[in-house]
A = this chain, B = another copy of it.
Amino acid sequence: MNAQQFREFGTAVIDLLADYVENIRDRDVLPSVEPGYLLNELPENAPEQPEDWKDVLKDFNQAILPGITHWQSPRFHAFYPTGTSYASIIGSMLCDGLSVVGFSWMASPACTELEVVTMNWLGKLLGLPEEFLNSSSGPGGGVIQGSASEATLVGLLVAKDKTVRKLIRNDSTIDEDIIKPKLVAYTSDQCNSSVEKAGLLGSMKMRLLKADADGRLRGETLKRAFEEDREQGLIPCYVVANLGTTGTCAFDPLYELGPVCKEADVWLHVDAAYAGAAFICPEYRHLMKGVEHADSFDINPHKWMNVCFDCSAMWVKNGYDLIRAFDVQRIYLDDVQTDIKIPDYRHWQIPLGRRFRAMKLWTVMRIYGAEGLRNQIRKHIDLAQYFAKLMRADDRFLVEPEPSMGLVCFRLKGGDTITKKLLENLTKKRKIFMVAGTYRDRYMIRFVVCYRLTRKEDIDYSWKQIRDEADCVCTDKIHKKPQIAAIDSLVGREVSEKSK
Q: In whole Å, how far is A300's beta carbon from the nearest beta carbon of chain B?
A: 8
**A159-198 interface bits toward B, Cβ cutoff 8 Å, 1 = contact, 0 = none:** 0100000000000000001001100000000001110110
- B-chain residues with CB within 8 Å of residue A202 when the two chains form the complex: 201, 203
Q: Are A69 and B107 in contact (CB under 8 A)?
A: yes
Docked CA distance A5–B59 (Å): 27
Q: Are A353 and B193 in contact (CB under 8 A)?
A: no
Q: Are B197 and A328 in contact (CB under 8 A)?
A: yes
Copies in the complex: 2
**A50-68 interface bits toward B, Cβ cutoff 8 Å, 1 = contact, 0 = none:** 1101011001100111111
Docked CA distance A114–B66 (Å): 12
**Which one of A211-219, A220-228, A379-387, A433-441 is at the B interface?**
A433-441
Q: Judge whether A18 is part of the interface by a CB distance below 8 angstroms.
A: yes
Q: Judge whether A92 is part of the interface by a CB distance below 8 angstroms.
A: yes
Residue in contact with A99 in the complex, picked from B82, B336, B367, CB distance below 8 Å: B82
Residue in contact with A113 in the complex, picked from B3, B38, B350, CB distance below 8 Å: B38
Q: Judge whether A101 is part of the interface by a CB distance below 8 angstroms.
A: yes
Q: Judge whether A483 is part of the interface by a CB distance below 8 angstroms.
A: no
Residue in contact with A9 in the complex, picked from B4, B90, B111, CB distance below 8 Å: B90
- B-chain residues with CB within 8 Å of residue A242 when the two chains form the complex: none
Q: Judge whether A478 is part of the interface by a CB distance below 8 angstroms.
A: no
**A61-87 interface bits toward B, Cβ cutoff 8 Å, 1 = contact, 0 = none:** 001111111111000001100111111
Docked CA distance A346–B272 (Å): 21
Docked CA distance A118–B43 (Å): 10
- B-chain residues with CB within 8 Å of residue A96 when the two chains form the complex: 84, 88-89, 92, 308
Which residues A1-26 have CB closer than 8 A to chain B? Answer: 1, 3-7, 9-11, 13-18, 20-22
**Which one of A147-155, A260-268, A284-292 is at the B interface?**
A147-155
Q: Are A353 and B149 in contact (CB under 8 A)?
A: yes
- B-chain residues with CB within 8 Å of residue A366 when the two chains form the complex: 46-47, 50-51, 55-56, 59
**Which one of A121-129, A391-399, A484-492 is at the B interface?**
A121-129
Q: Are B197 and A101 in contact (CB under 8 A)?
A: no
Q: Are B108 and A334 in contact (CB under 8 A)?
A: no
Q: Judge whether A116 is part of the interface by a CB distance below 8 angstroms.
A: yes
**A335-363 interface bits toward B, Cβ cutoff 8 Å, 1 = contact, 0 = none:** 11010011000000011110100010001
Q: Are A37 and B113 in contact (CB under 8 A)?
A: yes
Q: In whole Å, how far is A36's beta carbon from the nearest beta carbon of chain B?
A: 6
- B-chain residues with CB within 8 Å of residue A150 when the two chains form the complex: 350-351
Q: Judge whether A365 is part of the interface by a CB distance below 8 angstroms.
A: yes
Q: A22-B3, A69-B107 are in contact. Are A157 and B201 (CB under 8 A)?
A: yes
Q: In whole Å, how far is A464's beta carbon from the nearest beta carbon of chain B?
A: 24
- B-chain residues with CB within 8 Å of residue A5 when the two chains form the complex: 86
Q: Judge whether A446 is part of the interface by a CB distance below 8 angstroms.
A: yes
Q: Judge whether A100 is part of the interface by a CB distance below 8 angstroms.
A: yes
Q: In whole Å, how far is A56's beta carbon from the nearest beta carbon of chain B?
A: 5
Q: List A residues at the B interface (Cβ < 8 Å).
A: 1, 3-7, 9-11, 13-18, 20-22, 31, 33, 35-39, 42, 44-51, 53, 55-56, 59-60, 63-72, 78-79, 82-90, 92-94, 96-101, 105-111, 113-114, 116-118, 120-122, 124-125, 135, 146-150, 153, 157, 160, 177, 180-181, 192-194, 196-197, 200-203, 246-247, 308-310, 325-326, 328-336, 338, 341-342, 350-353, 355, 359, 363, 365-372, 435-438, 446
15 A–B pairs (Cβ distance < 8 Å), ordered by A = A3-B18, A3-B22, A10-B89, A33-B110, A38-B109, A46-B125, A51-B369, A68-B98, A71-B108, A92-B93, A153-B350, A180-B180, A193-B329, A310-B355, A331-B437
